Amino acid sequence: MRFALVGQPNCGKSTLFNQVAGYKAATGNFSGTTVTFTGTKVHVQGNVVELVDLPGTYSLLGTNPAERVVLDYLVGNNVDAIINVVDATHLAQGLALTLELLELKRPVVLAVNMMDEAARQGIHIDGEKLGEILKIPVLPIIATKGQGVRRVFSTAYENGKNNQDAQRQKYSPELEEQIRRIQGLVNSVRLPIGSEALALKLLEGDPPLTEQVSHKIPNIESEVQKAVDKLCHITGRQAIWLVSKERHDLALSIFEQVYKKTGKKRLLRERLDDYLLHPFWGYIFLVGILFLFFWIVNKIGGVIEAPLNQLSNYLDAELMNSLADKGLLAQILSGALQGFMGGLAIALPYLVPFLIGLGFLEDVGYLPRVAFLMDTLMHHMGLHGKAVVPFILGYGCNVSSIMSTRIMEDKRDRYLSSLLSSMVPCSARMAIIFGLVAFYLGPVYGIGLYILNIVVIALTGHIISHFIPEESPGLILEMPVYRIPTLRTVTAKAWLRIREFIVDAWPILIVGSVILAVMNFYNLADITDSIFRPITWLLGLPSQVGTPLIFGILRKELSLIMLGQALGSMEFNSVLTSTQMLTYTVFVIFYIPCLATLIAIRKELGTKAMLSITGITLLVAVITAFLTHLIATPLLG
């Protein structure tokens, strides 16, 4: 048996999903956190059920790639029960989608989420009455706390087993007539959705679906056009508007029958937004919040890094002493030790507080507020406020930022935001900024690099958008309410990425260090160094950094861990000048996205986009690092 979770953006589908699946799907308090579907197996009443978490969507129209996924999934796959999650505080809008789901003629269970938040706002919803009107089970849940979740699944299971298909509500007679007419034509088409739903989708004019049906019924397009013309003649509206309007009005009238609000107090959200979205204070808070965030990460990380670094160097010296006569073996062991300690001492101390902090900001709902404040600045880069989401996610991991560009409607916007957000220093590069520059030169330089990074990205965007002008209409984004993150979701989210580091990245760091040790032993590193020689020469860097840079494309952390090894010391200030540390880090921040990011770009936007992004980022890196070298040399020496 298979269940699908469907609902509007930010209604808590993924939170519900994670309640039963463990932490598998990314969650955050903004629209479009889920851009593709995630599946898991759950046990319901002793049976194994496949549960699919679909991206949030306002309707089944598929206006952007993430929303397209939902319609394609429901049309292409047999789903035994649909679990429709609605946000109790936004019930009226949620019901419009519910009505659309009822059209599909599959068993539907309505889970009304965020009952606690609704109660706080004085909202009362008569679930029983709602169930009577819609003729489907309506169950209250609080997904963040797991309340009511079990009942939703057992009800979905019962209904799915008994094939209790939902019945849709009736629309206006004119519309019903055309639905029946089209339905008669497409009766022979066998799809997992009913012929009525198919007729409605065709009337709304879904291009891929029309195309699919026209293979079987060649004249379908002209027949649908006739129906659309007829409706337009009677009602004066395009069918697509008519259908939406009827669903919307119906949803509103149902909503009014079941909704009661007691006491209208000024919401905390409005009071908070008065400050956080203030034309002046809003920006002060923005800078303050980000500054505080990085300051805390830097403080915590620095305290842990220093003693671990000493330990690492001590262990390495001991190892070398006791195995001095063993040659290659000593080198390999020392390489493995440096890879291991590098991950422990340099990457993890910053990664953990950083991810927890980022998870907190995501869950509170601050990111869409940043989008609101930054829209104007983003237009100077040829993008709009929505691109703030991939940018901020990029500080965690560039792969998730590439995936999140799916929330943008326009292909050109997706390309540009992918290019620019891949230059945002992810948590791996953050470790380099903090572990190398902030640690040896001082935190001011670390923050300076972040500011430099933003300036360079803005400039690049500005220049690129001259060649590919902005066409998309701009920002449309829903502003969520503030939510207090639960410790569990924040730590679970951080753990998801930390585990990824421990399982995927750390072994690569160790293996990479061992490979470099072997290469050093046989003097092979010279060959790989020579690939980057023109660049390292230009930037005034020692030629040995070429190999860490090449391996850095695999995993960005390698360009730090292997750096210590290539230069023969983890005490970087003894082997590199301040300028060199700065130049190297600037180069590492911008040059070529890591392999995983490149693969993601290729999957999302194609090989051409991947290659051009590789080229552009390399060029940006060389220019920026060269300028850093020129400017820093007389100042820092």
Site residues for another protein per CB under 8 A = 58-59, 61, 63, 90, 92-93, 237, 240-241, 244-245, 248, 252, 273, 277, 279-280, 282, 368, 371-373, 375-376, 379, 384-385, 409, 473-479
Say if CB 350 and CB 431 are below 8 A apart. yes
By beta-carbon proximity to another protein, the closer residue of 278 and 533 is 278
CB of 448 to another protein, least distance (A): 25
CB of 59 to another protein, least distance (A): 5
Sheet holding 38-44, edge to edge: 38-44, 47-53, 2-7, 81-87, 108-113, 138-140
Residue with the two structure tokens 């902090």: 357
By beta-carbon proximity to another protein, the closer residue of 203 and 423 is 203
By beta-carbon proximity to another protein, the closer residue of 60 and 330 is 60
By beta-carbon proximity to another protein, the closer residue of 118 and 566 is 118
CB of 91 to another protein, least distance (A): 9
By beta-carbon proximity to another protein, the closer residue of 477 and 610 is 477
Residues 6+ apart with CB under 8 A from 408: 64, 386, 387, 414, 417, 472
By beta-carbon proximity to another protein, the closer residue of 98 and 164 is 98
Say if CB 40 and CB 51 are below 8 A apart. yes
CB of 374 to another protein, least distance (A): 9
The neighbour count for residue 626, using CB atoms within 10 Å, is 17
| Cα 538 from Cα 630, distance rounded (Å) | 10
By beta-carbon proximity to another protein, the closer residue of 267 and 595 is 267
Query: Pairing between strand 38-44 and 81-87?
Result: unpaired
Say if CB 5 and CB 13 are below 8 A apart. yes
CB of 275 to another protein, least distance (A): 12
CB of 240 to another protein, least distance (A): 7
Tokens of 50: 């496949």
The neighbour count for residue 589, using CB atoms within 10 Å, is 27
Kindly tell me the burial class for residue 540, based on how many C-beta atoms sit within 10 Å of its own C-beta (0-12, 13-18, 19 or more): middle
Using DSSP, state whether 48 is helix, strand or coil.
strand
CB of 154 to another protein, least distance (A): 31
Residues 6+ apart with CB under 8 A from 574: none
By beta-carbon proximity to another protein, the closer residue of 337 and 408 is 408
CB of 367 to another protein, least distance (A): 12
Instruction: Please report how many Cα atoms fall inside a 13 Å half-sphere around the Cα of residue 617, on the Cβ side.
Output: 29
Phi, psi of 590 (to 5 degrees): -100, -30
CB of 245 to another protein, least distance (A): 5
Query: Closest Cα partner for 591 from 437, 398, 451, 413?
Result: 398
First-to-last C-alpha distance (Å) of the chain: 68
By beta-carbon proximity to another protein, the closer residue of 90 and 150 is 90
